Amino acid sequence: MDAASLATIRLSIELAAATTVILLAFGTPLAWWLARGSAHGLGRLRAPMRALVALPLVLPPSVLGFYLLLALGPNGPIGRVTQALGWGTLAFTFWGLLIGSIIYSLPFVVQPIVQAFEAIGNRPLEVAATLRAGPLDAFWRVALPLARPGLMTGAVMGFAHTLGEFGVVLMIGGNIPGQTRVLSVQIYDHVEALEYGAAHWLAGGMLLFALLALLAVHAVQARWHRKATA
């Protein structure tokens, strides 16, 4: 494997890791609100927010990438702000890729966590309340430990999905070696150049990783189910 492929793998892993950490950080409280939020006030926005979170699942990547490119470009709302701050535009940069990856992988992280929070039910939280645990304390000490399988599933799915992105990252980041060229784009380049041997190495590695990721998710869910039914 040449240096260019190794650099591409490193960049892809860095992008997937950063995306996963950020999504877990703000996606977990978002998932808690979507699963347990009040039906009054801001709680009425839960249904539209659920639809927005799930939108990347049904929206073509090229459409999402196109509008993100416009938003991050010099005439877009985000591009104007970043230029005013002296940062330039984020299109065709790693940070632009990161923004696109966060949006595109959002449902793969948030939805498993929402399902885990919903599966907890009211009883554990009611018991915590009788022990004088405040809402925040109950969230950290009761809800999060019980939702750990959902958190782990979301982390694995978010990382794996980000690693395999193509349409969004190509639209936003282009194909700049060492800066925005990720694994999926590198495979496309090899195939376009009829370098099938090199493409097999990278594609086979991603196929194996995807299989292992799914096996890990199923193992976590099966183990938690056995504990729950014991």
Domain span at residue 158 reads: 3-229
pLDDT at 43: 66
What pLDDT shows up at residue 92?
92
CATH number at residue 157: 1.10.3720.10
Tens digits of pLDDT across the chain (230 residues): 677 788 899 999 999 999 999 999 999 999 999 988 765 456 678 888 999 999 999 999 999 999 999 999 999 999 999 999 988 899 999 999 999 999 999 999 999 999 999 988 888 888 888 877 788 888 888 889 889 989 999 999 999 999 989 989 999 998 888 889 999 999 999 999 999 998 999 999 999 998 998 898 888 778 777 776 66
Looking at residue 137, its pLDDT comes to 85
Which residue has 């195939």 as its token pair?
191
Q: DSSP H helical segments within the chain, as ranges?
A: 3-36, 46-58, 61-72, 77-84, 94-120, 123-130, 135-138, 144-146, 148-163, 167-173, 183-192, 196-229
Residue matched to tokens 């609100």: 33
Tokens encoding 53: 């979170």
pLDDT of residue 40: 47
**Cα–Cα distance, 204 to 64 (Å, whole number):** 27
Number of Cβ atoms within 10 Å of the Cβ of 8: 23
* Three state DSSP letters for 75-95: CCHHHHHHHHCCCCCCCCCHH
In this prediction, residue 23 carries a pLDDT of 97
Please tell me what DSSP assigns to residue 142: I
- Total structural domains in the chain? 1
56 in Cβ contact with 104 (< 8 Å)? yes
